[in-house]
Structure 1
């Protein structure tokens, strides 16, 4: 009889705690869920950076068009996007500069802190603004993809 009364107490004692195996299983499940969440978050952040670049390129394009309205030409490649912030010191120096044409200097930098690449030509009026993405090398996918905006007029007197 004594043996029968002691057995249930031992069984209850073993059931009361959590085994190491159960703790490890819970930690593994939490780690997998955290990895899935981090992957989804990174995908959304990459998309947000792409939208930010598109928005900045459109704002720079609008600023370049305002510059051209005042000065009858786009800044040269040598003058660069800095011509939107201050009167260029490289020829041709505009006589009717009414800037600054952008509201903050950081707008001339991509989300990774590097200056946007700018190229222009006068005849026909054309410009291109490019960022090489997070890896700063040509090509790539996702956050490393190159993003550019190209404007070219159909006429010589645009």
Structure 2
């Protein structure tokens, strides 16, 4: 008879109740609210660090061009001179590039690095990123980074 009772009684399937699911979602939401802003501030800081490192790399390549060619790239040549020889045959014969393994990188905010002559505080050139906002000036992650142009 006990075998017949087991067959007629519905078996309960395992799982979570709606209330248990809601409690878990609330806990996950609270954790995301506390941890999320801290993680995003680290992302912004890492972009600033990346831009500063890339500017240093590009500055070194520009200095190598100056040593080989005898002058900095003109404003018209810009950073393209790191990848392509100058149009002047006399200068092209001294060009020992390309000076970068890959193409000139974009800054971490996907904007091109700015190059102009002369730079601030006696630097021969200006090489900088416009920061997160892509415009001159700014504070925080929107601040211009690198060797800024003469004012």
Question: Structure 2 length as normaliser, TM-score?
Answer: 0.73
Change (3 A) 1:113 1:94: farther
User: Which region of structure 1 is more displaced relative to structure 2, 97-106 or 137-146?
Assistant: 137-146
Residue matched to 1:60:
58
Consecutive unaligned residues in structure 1, runs of 5 or more: 1-16, 153-158
Give distance in 1, aligned partners of 2:117 and 2:90: 15
User: Higher strand proportion, which one?
Assistant: 1
Give aligned pairs, total. 132
1:117 to 100, 104, 114: 114
Counterpart in the other structure of 1:94: 91
Q: In structure 1, which of residues 57, 67, 70 is the aligned counterpart of residue 68 of structure 2?
A: 70
1:146: which partner in 2?
144
Unaligned residue ranges in structure 2 (runs of 5+): 1-15
Secondary structure at 2:125's aligned position in 1?
A: strand
| In 2: Cα distance, 1:119 partner to 1:60 partner | 13
SS at match of 1:126: coil
Distance 2:143 2:82 in 1: 26
Q: Distance in 1 between matches of 2:112 and 2:23?
A: 49
Cα offset, 1:72, TM superposition? 0.8
Residues 128, 151 of structure 1: 8 Å contact kept: yes
Q: Which TM-score applies when normalising by structure 1? A: 0.70
- Quick one: structure 1 residues 151 and 61, their matched pair in 2 at CA, closer, same or farther if it must change by over 3 Å? farther
8 Å CA contact 1:132, 1:139 repeated in 2: yes
Cα distance, 1:114–1:93 mapped onto 2, change above 3 Å: farther
Q: The residue matched to 2:108 in structure 1 has which SS?
A: coil
